[in-house]
């Protein structure tokens, strides 16, 4: 089946630093989604990308849909303590998998005040 490789697995940063994480796949996706999961909660959507090359921002978050449709990255600028959590990428290809999403294994982010 489709697989997503998400990196890094974990990051330990100081408050104020910028963060970058990415996902790559051997398969093409036509939608990329980035979710954040707070401890004890379900994942919540941060950014959705629908076109190859698309660059979308949501506050301090910026995500891009790779031109090859096989990768995506998420940047967080000027990190703050509440950015702590697990960040998941997810890809969707309606032609091959319908509505199902394929999730990366997550990036655990720790922000030290």
Partner 1 sequence: NAGVTQTPKFRILKIGQSMTLQCTQDMNHNYMYWYRQDPGMGLKLIYYSVGAGITDKGEVPNGYNVSRSTTEDFPLRLELAAPSQTSVYFCASSPMGHLTTNTGELFFGEGSRLTVL
Contact footprint for partner 1 (CB under 8 A) = 1, 4, 6, 9, 31, 33, 40-45, 48, 50, 88, 90, 92, 98-101, 103-106
In the complex, what is the shortest distance from the CB of residue 80 to partner 1, in angstroms, rounded to a whole number? 23
Whether the CB-CB separation of 79 and 18 falls below 8 Å is answered with yes
In the complex, what is the shortest distance from the CB of residue 34 to partner 1, in angstroms, rounded to a whole number? 11
- Of the candidates 33, 68, 65, the residue with the CA atom closest to the CA atom of residue 51: 65
Residue 88 has which token pair? 């998941």
In the complex, what is the shortest distance from the CB of residue 65 to partner 1, in angstroms, rounded to a whole number? 12
Cα separation, 78 vs 74, whole angstroms: 13
Q: Name which of 60 and 105 has its Cβ closer to partner 1.
A: 105
């Amino acid at each position: 089946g489709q697989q997503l490789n998400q990196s890094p697995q974990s990051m330990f940063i100081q408050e104020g630093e910028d963060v970058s994480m990415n996902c790559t796949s051997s398969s093409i996706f036509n939608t990329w989604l980035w979710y954040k999961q707070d401890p004890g909660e379900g994942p919540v959507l941060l950014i959705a990308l629908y076109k190859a090359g698309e660059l979308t921002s949501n506050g301090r978050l910026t995500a891009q849909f790779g031109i090859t449709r096989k990768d995506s990255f998420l940047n967080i600028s000027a990190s703050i303590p509440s950015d702590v959590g697990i960040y998941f990428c997810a890809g969707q290809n309606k032609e091959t998998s319908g509505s199902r999403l394929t999730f990366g294994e997550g990036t655990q982010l720790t922000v030290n005040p």
